[in-house]
C-alpha cells in the first residue's frame, strides 16, 4: 500500500491517496517523497500532518523533480543534504535545483561527475 501511496502523491491523485490510506498505507515519508517529486504542496502538507519528517529525503525527490517550491519547503523544514540534492538534480538535469543546492552550500566538485551539466 505504501508504494501505492507514493504513486498517488506523485500522480496528484487525491482519490487514490485516500484509497491507499483506507487500505492501510502508513509510511508518510514515502508519500512525502512522491509529493515532493510532483511538487504537489497540498500533498506535502498532508504527509506532514500525518507524520512525515524525512526532510532530506523529500529534498532529494524535490531536486529530482526540479520543484522549486517543494525544495524551499524542505529547506524550511530543516533539510540540509545539499550534496545529495545536487547529485539528484544533476542526474535529472534539474537546472533550478542545481542552482539552489549550490547556493545553499553543496560541494561544487560534485559537478565534475556530470560533464553534461554547465552552470
Grid cell, residue 110, equals 560534485
**In this structure, are residues 82 and 101 in contact, taking their beta carbons and an 8 Å threshold?**
yes
Using the predicted structure, report yes or no on whether residue 30 has a pLDDT greater than 90. Answer: yes
Q: What confidence score (pLDDT) does residue 119 get?
A: 82
Task: Give the separation between CA 52 and CA 61, rounded to whole angstroms.
Answer: 14
- Digit-coded pLDDT (tens) for 67-91: 999 999 999 999 999 999 999 999 9
* C-alpha to C-alpha distance for 5 and 98, rounded to whole angstroms: 27
Residue 103 has pLDDT above 90, yes or no: yes
Q: What is the pLDDT of residue 43?
A: 96
Average pLDDT value for the chain? 97
pLDDT at residue number 60: 98
Q: What pLDDT is attached to residue 118? A: 85
| Full set of structural domains in the chain with CATH | 1-53 (no CATH), 55-119 (1.25.40.20)
Contacts of 26 (CB under 8 A, 6+ apart): 1, 2
Can you tell me the distance from the alpha carbon of 86 to that of 83, in angstroms, rounded to the nearest whole number? 5
> Poorest-confidence range of 27-31, 62-66, 114-118?
114-118
**What is the rounded CA–CA span in Å between residue 53 and residue 34?**
14
Residue bearing the bigger pLDDT, 105 or 117: 105
Nearest to 97 by CA among 114, 31, 26: 114
Q: What is the share, in percent, of the chain residues with pLDDT greater than 70?
A: 100
Give pLDDT, residue 104.
98
Amino acid at each position: 500500500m505504501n508504494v501505492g501511496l507514493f504513486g498517488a502523491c506523485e500522480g496528484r491523485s487525491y482519490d487514490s491517496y485516500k484509497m491507499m490510506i483506507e487500505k492501510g498505507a502508513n509510511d508518510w515519508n514515502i508519500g512525502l517523497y512522491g509529493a515532493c517529486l510532483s511538487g504537489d504542496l497540498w500533498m506535502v502538507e498532508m504527509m506532514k500532518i500525518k507524520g512525515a519528517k524525512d526532510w532530506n529525503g523529500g529534498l532529494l525527490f524535490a531536486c529530482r523533480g526540479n520543484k522549486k517550491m517543494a525544495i524551499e519547503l524542505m529547506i524550511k523544514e530543516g533539510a540540509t543534504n545539499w550534496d545529495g540534492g545536487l547529485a539528484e538534480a544533476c542526474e535529472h538535469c534539474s537546472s533550478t535545483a542545481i542552482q539552489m543546492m549550490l547556493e545553499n552550500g553543496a560541494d561544487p566538485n560534485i559537478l565534475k561527475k556530470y560533464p553534461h551539466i554547465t552552470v
